[in-house]
Structure 1
Amino acid sequence: MEELMNQLNETFKADNLVMTSNYQNIIEELELTGELWDDPEFRPEISSLTYEDIAPKGIKWMRTLDLHKKAFFMADGVSKSDIIQGELGDCWFWASVATIANSKRLIEWVIPSGQSITGNAPYYGIFRFRFWQFGKWVEILVDDYLPTRDGQLIYARSEADNEFWPSFFEKAFAK
């Protein structure tokens, strides 16, 4: 574990390893308009969920604040007990997330701090995550639309019905 942490520290120190997103530019634009962000690359459409010819029945994309009026991005940090796997069946993914949840430094790198839904900061419906892809850290942005059926999340969710980081994390990985 110590060797892994040393490698991780070197990775974080290295220059140009993060392929950044337009997060700050998008936030500045949303501050001017006061609107919620709509991700142009991952639309709230059936085609974002499947390549199948037949679409899943009864899917409705809902924004977070329509799912819970007192929604939190992260209620009390990240722990493996937060995660409830949904219909996707991606336990292998959640096992790796549970592993990185044991490292505060790594989880803070993968899920940047300062993200919220309700609270003092303005809410713009945009979240960012970082994934290691092809030898580089890549920052992925997602909006706050989530697929539901009968008003319930169909994919990953938190044990707390007003916490949404697992849903957005899974969405960012899918994107």
Structure 2
Amino acid sequence: MQSSHSTDREPPLPTYLGLLIHAETRKRGLVDKLYDLGLSISYDRIMQLSTALGNSICESFNTENVVCPAKLRNGLFTTAAIDNIDHNPSSTTAQGSLHGTAISIFQHPVKEGDGFERLIPPIALSAARYEHLKPLPESYTVVPPVVLPKEKSEIPLLNGSLVADGTSISSALNLEYSISE
């Protein structure tokens, strides 16, 4: 079935349905069947949109000079936890083992505001015609090893008690629950 519309005026329902079915199943045959029935965009068009979206996000990474999820907001206190992932570390052949890094990022809204959305470059019509993802800079994909210092760290002495009296807990809880409401 030939498309009877221009890609710059694509109907939203077939586009949404095609992207949804592809995201849920990853099955080209199912997407193509729906396309033949006029219910979806073609699998090739889904791949074009997916590539264009990836290129748009990569352009955002290059503009901001940082790689992070697009949903993170500016102006919010943000923390991260990093841990290594080791599966079957006793493997002698390294086949079937996995060594990786997990990064979890948390944003903490404050009472004065909840930050603001970051700029994500829109998908240009010309960008939707790219067939390949643009590569990220090598500095984003190569992580240099960390070397610990050989000299001992100097830890300052503590003046005062290590035990809190607990009086600040109730005010902190009240603040926490008032933010979420």
TM-score (norm 2): 0.19
As a proportion of its length, which structure holds more strand? 1
In our comparison, the structure showing a higher alpha carbon Rg is 2
Q: Which has the higher contact order (CA 8 A, sep 6+)?
A: 1
